A and B are shown apart, each in its own frame.
Chain A
Amino acid sequence: NAGVTQTPKFRILKIGQSMTLQCTQDMNHNYMYWYRQDPGMGLKLIYYSVGAGITDKGEVPNGYNVSRSTTEDFPLRLELAAPSQTSVYFCASSYSLAGNQEQYFGPGTRLTVT
């Protein structure tokens, strides 16, 4: 099993450009999440999904969009990149939505917006 995979690993964007961060999991998990991690801060939830076709906002959704057309894939879209979106982005998945369930994380995408 590959687990959770993310592409790309690194990306530099210019202000106003757009891009999609890809996330795929092969564990047949219904629940998937996108987090961002800023230096010296904990992870903040951007969006999450409880199954194909169902998504919801987390703590910091502004400037991002998601879709979930399949169980495996949960891409994150940045439409108009801003310097404030410079961060490390993690995708995660879990078997259930219960509060004590383990989340499985991808290796992250380091994004710089200049």
Chain B
Amino acid sequence: GDSVTQMEGPVTLSEEAFLTINCTYTATGYPSLFWYVQYPGEGLQLLLKATKADDKGSNKGFEATYRKETTSFHLEKGSVQVSDSAVYFCALSRGTSYDKVIFGPGTSLSVIP
């Protein structure tokens, strides 16, 4: 069945460091891919998404490119801030009719000044 694998956390970085959180998926067909972020004490919110191969999603300085050949959707940011400390979830969904969204386990990021 469909699945999403993320790098294990927690990840601790110094402010202004480069961030990569790896995400790979297993799915038939052409799923849509998402990154959600959960800030402390809040619900998940969509960070970015990509709906077809080679699409790049971007938001708030974060980017991820849909790589079908490597079944990956790695999240990157060039210079993290303390305010980026959160849990990041990679997710996939298939088709134009409802299919359950498959979430990865989440990766906790802490950015220290």
**Residues of A that sit less than 8 Å from B by CB:** 4, 6, 31, 35, 40-43, 45, 48, 50, 58-59, 90, 92, 97-100, 102-108
Q: How far apart sit A107 and B95, CA to CA, in the bound complex (Å)?
A: 27
14 A-B residue pairings within 8 Å (CB atoms): A4-B43, A6-B43, A31-B98, A42-B91, A42-B105, A90-B43, A99-B31, A99-B96, A100-B32, A102-B46, A103-B46, A103-B101, A104-B45, A107-B42
Given A4-B43, A90-B43, A106-B43, A98 contacting B49 (CB threshold 8 A): no
Contact, CB under 8 Å: B44 / A90: yes
Q: Does B93 contact A (CB under 8 A)?
A: yes
Instruction: Compute the total of residue contacts between A and B using a CB distance below 8 Å.
Output: 66
Q: Does B94 contact A (CB under 8 A)?
A: yes
Given A105-B45, A107-B42, A108-B43, A99 contacting B105 (CB threshold 8 A): no
Q: How far apart sit A98 and B99, CA to CA, in the bound complex (Å)?
A: 8
Contact, CB under 8 Å: A99 / B104: no
CB of A100 to closest CB in B, whole Å:
4
B contact residues, range: 20 to 34
Further pairs besides A42-B103, A43-B89, A45-B100: 10, Cβ < 8 Å:
A43-B44, A97-B97, A99-B94, A100-B93, A102-B49, A103-B44, A104-B43, A104-B45, A105-B36, A107-B41
Chain A neighbourhood of B42, CB < 8 A:
107
Q: How far apart sit A92 and B36, CA to CA, in the bound complex (Å)?
A: 13
The residue on A at minimum CB distance from B32 is A100
CB of B29 to closest CB in A, whole Å:
10
Chain A neighbourhood of B38, CB < 8 A:
105
